[in-house]
Amino acid sequence: MTNITSRHEGAAGDLTARALREALYAGLISLGLFVLFVGLKSDQNIRNELILVPRWGLLAIFVVIAMVGRFLMIAYLQPFLASQKVVNAATGMLPDSMASRFFRLPFFIAAVVVSAVMIAAARGLPDNIAAYATIIRGLAIIYSLACLFYMFRIFITTHFTVLAVAALVLYPIVIVAIFGAQGSLKWVDNFGIQILIYVMLAWGLNIVVGLAGLLDLGYVAFYAVGAYSYALLSSTFGLSFWVLLPMAGILAAFWGMILGFPVLRLRGDYLAIVTLAFGEIIRLVLLNWAEVTNGAAGISGVAKASVFGIWSFDVSAPNNFAKAFGLPMSSAYYKIFLFYLILALALLTAFVTVRLRRMPIGRAWEALREDEIACRSLGINTVTTKLTAFAIGAMFGGFAGSFFAARQGFVSPESFVFLESAVILAIVVLGGMGSLVGIAVAAAVMVGGTEILRELEFLKHIFGPDFTPELYRMLLFGIAMVVVMVWKPRGFVGSREPTAFLHERKAVSGSFTKEGHG
Amino acid sequence: MSLETTMNSDTILKVEHLSMKFGGLMAINDFSFEAKRGEITALIGPNGAGKTTVFNCITGFYKPTMGMIVLNQKAGKQYLLERLPDFEITKHAKVARTFQNIRLFSGLTVLENLLVAQHNKLMVASGFTVLGLLGFPTYRKAAKEAIELAKHWLEKADLIDRADDPAGDLSYGAQRRLEIARAMCTGPELLCLDEPAAGLNPRESAALNTLLRSIRADTGTSLLLIEHDMSVVMEISDHVVVLEYGQKISDGTPDHVKNDPKVIAAYLGVEDDEVEDVISEVESLEGGVN
Ligand SMILES: Nc1ncnc2c1ncn2[C@@H]1O[C@H](COP(=O)(O)OP(=O)(O)OP(=O)(O)O)[C@@H](O)[C@H]1O
Ligand SMILES: [Mg+2]
C-alpha cells in the first residue's frame, strides 16, 4: 500500500491493471455464486410442470455490480484510505483534534463580524474592490456555517443520552402531530415499540454476555417465561399487569438461576450449547404441555395493561381511557401508552445496568469476563457472581416478556424460537459488547432496518414490476451485518467506559477487553 | 482444635506431609515446611520441581492428594486450607497470591483492578448490592475508602500515573507490580508470589526488592516467594526452602542453603559423588547461581 503513494506515475498503471484483474475475479466469483440462485428460477408453466426460467439480465446486473464495486475499491478507495493513514501518521494528529483547532469560538465570532462588515461595506466600495469583498464574505459565511455544524455535532455527542431520551419521549407526540392518531399506529408500534422491546432484551442479555462474558444462546427462554407468566396468571387469577410485571421478572430470574446451576462449570462453546438447549427445552415444554399452555394454539385474549389500574384500555370498561377524557375511540392511545411503558422499562434496565457496573457485583462480572481464575484468587465467589448475572439478565427478559404478552394480547411458542435469541445476541455483538448506546443503535438498525426493508417498493422501478423486494429483505439484512462486522469488528462502540477513575476518565480500547470464554 | 499445641504462634503457615499426584506423576512427595510470621520465606528449586504446584495447593486451586496445610492468623484463628474452596482462602484465611504467568484484568483500568480486589469488603458495604443500588451513604463512603486504599498501593507500586490506563497497556514490569498491589488490596496476612522477578531487568528487580521489603515492614504481611532470580532470593529472604522433584532437599537461612551441597548439585545437575568438588568450586565464586 505504501508504494502506491510514493511512486505515483508508474504505480498508477499497475494499479489499474490490478484493479481490472481483481474486478474480473470478483465477477467470476459472483457469477459462480449467483448463477444458480439468481440466474435460474424454478417456476410452474401452464401445465403445472416445473420449469427453469433463466434470468440472465438480472444475473448480469449482479455480476457487473460486483465487478464495478471491486474495481472502484481497488483503484480508488484503498489508495485513498492509505493516503489518509499516511497523512494522519505524518501530522501525528487525529482528524478530530485538527477540527477542534480549526473551529474555535473566537474564529467563529471573527468570521461573523467579517461577513457582517463586508455586507455593510459592500455598497460603498468601488466595483473592482467589491468583487473581492464578495469573495471574502462568501468564505466567512461558509466558515461560520461549518463552525455551527461542528459545534452542533459536538453538542450532540456530549449530550447524547439526554438528547436521545428527550427525542424518544417526544417521538409519539411528533408522530401523532404529523400522521394523526390513526396514521401514527404503524410508526409508534412497528418502529417505536418493536425496536424498544429489542433494545430492552439486548440490554438484559448484555449483562450476561457483554459484562459477565457468559455466552447465552437461549435468552429467549426467559422472554417466554415472562410472557407465559403474565398470560397464564392474568387469565387464571385475573391479576393486573402491575402485579404480574414484577412477578414475571422474579419467575424469570428464578429460571435464570435454574439454568445457571448446571452450566456453572461449563465454558465457551459448551456453555453456548447448553443454553441453546435450555431455550429449546422451554419452548418444547410450552408446546407440549397443552393442558396448561394450550400448546401450539397459544393463549389468546391476554388482558391489556392499564394505566396503574386507574384507566383501562378495554373498550367495554367504564374507566376506559378515551371515555374518561372524552376522546374519540382509537387503538392509538393504547399503543402510545405501551410506547411509554416499554420506554420506561428499557430506561430502567439501562439505569440499573449503569448503576450495577459501579457496584462491586458489576465490577466482578467484568473481572469474570477478563479472567476467572484471577477472580477466585481475589476471594470472589464466582458461583454466586455468575448466578446473579444470569438471574438479573433473565429478570429483564421476564419484564420484556410480560410486556410483550400485554401488547400482543396473544402468546404462542412460535414467538420464542431460536432465531429470536440469535437476533438479540446479534444486536449485542453488533452494538459492541457492554456498551448501552452501541446496543441501542444496533437494535434500531437491525429491527428498524428489517422493518424499513419491508418497504422496498422503489426497487420495482429498477428491476421491473415482477421483482418482489420482500424476498431480498433478509439477504440485504445479512449483507449489512457482514459489512458492519468487517468495518467495525468490535461493534459500533468497541471501547469500554471505566467505572471509576483517579485523574481522568479515559475509554478503554476494545483491543484490551476480552469477550469472555464461558 | 488440637492443632494449637503443635503450632507455635509465630508460625503463620505449616505444611505437613503434602503430596500431590497427577495421574502417575508424583509432583509433590511428602513435603513439609513452616513459614514464620513477618518473615520472607523463599521456595526455590529447578524447573518442574513442583513449586507452583505447592502454591496451587496452598491457595486451593488444587486439592492435595495427601497432607495438611494449616494457616495460623494473627488473631489466633486457624484454617485448614486444604479443606477450603479457593475463594474462601483469600476471603477468610487471608492468603493472597500472584501468578507465574501474570493474570490481570487487562480490559479494566489499573484502578479498577485494585477495586475488584476489594470485592468482599465492598459487597458488605453495599448491602450485597441492594443498599448500594438505592444509593445508601454507607456504600459511597466505603467506595471512597476503597479508592484511597487503591491509591496507597498505586503509590507504593509506582503506578499512580497510570491509574486510568487499561492494565493490558502496562509494561511487563509494571504488570508484575500491579499484580502484587492488587493482591495487597485484599488485605492478606500471607502473600504468595510466584516468580515476581521473572522477566524484570536489574533496575526493576531492585525496585521489586524495595517494594517487597516495604510490604513486610509496613503491613507485617508474611511473604512466601517462588523465585529463580538468586539476587532477589538471597538478598531479601529470611528463610529458604529448596524443592527438587517434589521433595524437600534443603531448608534454612540463605547462607545455609547456598552452601548446601545437595542444593548445588540440584542446580548444577551433577552426580552425587561429585558434589564435594562442586562445593569448593562454588564457594570461591560466591552465589552467582541461576
Ligand atoms: N495440572 C497438572 N496436571 C498434570 N501435571 C501437572 C499439572 N500441574 C503441574 N504438573 C506437573 O507437575 C510438575 C511440577 O510442576 P510445577 O509447575 O509445580 O513446577 P515449578 O517448580 O513451578 O516449575 P517452574 O520453575 O518451571 O515454574 C511438572 O512436571 C508438571 O508437568
Ligand atoms: Mg512454576
For chain B, domains (ranges, CATH) are 10-94+188-254 (3.40.50.300), 107-186 (no CATH), 259-290 (no CATH)
pLDDT at A349: 92
Q: Show which of residues 239-258 on chain B sit within 8 Å of chain A, judged by CB atoms.
A: none
**Band of residue A325 on the pLDDT scale cut at 50, 70, 90:** low
pLDDT computed for residue A478 by the predictor: 79
Query: Are A296 and A287 contacting, i.e. CB atoms less than 8 angstroms apart?
Result: yes
Flag whether pLDDT at A48 surpasses 80.
Answer: yes
Positive/negative CA dihedral, A238, A241, A247, A250? positive
Domains of chain A, by residue range, sit at: 13-82, 105-158, 165-415
Please identify, by atom number, the ligand 1 atom nearest to the C-alpha of residue B55.
Answer: 18
Q: Which of A200, A135, A251 is nearest to A403 (CA)?
A: A200
**Residue type at A452?**
I
Q: How many residues does chain A have?
A: 518
**pLDDT band at A1, cuts 50/70/90?**
very low
Long-range CB contacts (< 8 A, 24+ apart) of A324-330? A328/A181, A330/A181, A330/A182
Average pLDDT (A172-201) is: 82
- pLDDT tens-digit series, residues A226-276: 999 998 888 888 778 888 889 889 999 998 888 888 877 777 788 888 888
Mean pLDDT of chain B: 82
* pLDDT for B284: 60
Average pLDDT over every residue of A132-155: 81
Which pLDDT band holds residue B268 (cuts at 50, 70, 90)?
Answer: low
Question: Grid coordinates standing for B120?
Answer: 468482599
Nearest to B108 by CA among A347, A356, A190, A507: A507
Q: How far is CA B151 from the centre of its chain?
A: 22
Report the residue from A363, A371, A496 with minimal CB separation from B103: A371
Q: Give the E-state strand segments of A38-177 in sequence order.
A: 40-44, 50-54
User: Which residue shows C-alpha cell 516468580?
Assistant: B195
Q: With CB atoms and an 8 Å threshold, state whether B116 touches A371.
A: no
Give the Cα separation of A269 and B47 in Å (integer): 34
CA of B97 to the centre of ligand 2 (A): 13
Q: What is the ipTM of this complex?
A: 0.84
* A352/B119 Cβ within 8 A: no
Question: What's the Cα-to-Cα distance from A266 to each of A69, A161, A261, A402, B102, rounded to whole Å?
Answer: 45, 37, 10, 30, 23
Residue B278 has pLDDT above 60, yes or no: no
Which atom belonging to ligand 1 lies closest to the Cα atom of B45? Answer: 21
Mean pLDDT, residues B54-75 taken together: 87
| Most confident stretch, A56-60, A301-305, B132-136, B231-235 | A56-60
Task: Say how many C-beta atoms besides its own lie within 10 A of residue B88's C-beta.
Answer: 16
Residue of B nearest to A367 (CA): B105
HSE (side-chain half, CA atoms, 13 Å) at A77: 7
Q: Does A378 touch chain B (CB under 8 A)?
A: yes
Q: Is B63 in the pocket of ligand 1 (CB under 6 A)?
A: no
The whole-model pTM stands at 0.77
Size of chain B in residues: 290
B71–A contact, CB cutoff 8 A: no
Average pLDDT rounded to a whole number, residues B172-180: 90
What percent of chain A has pLDDT above 90? Answer: 16
Q: In chain A, what percentage of residues exceed pLDDT 70? A: 85
pLDDT greater at residue A465 or residue B75: B75
A-B contacts (CB, under 8 Å): 143
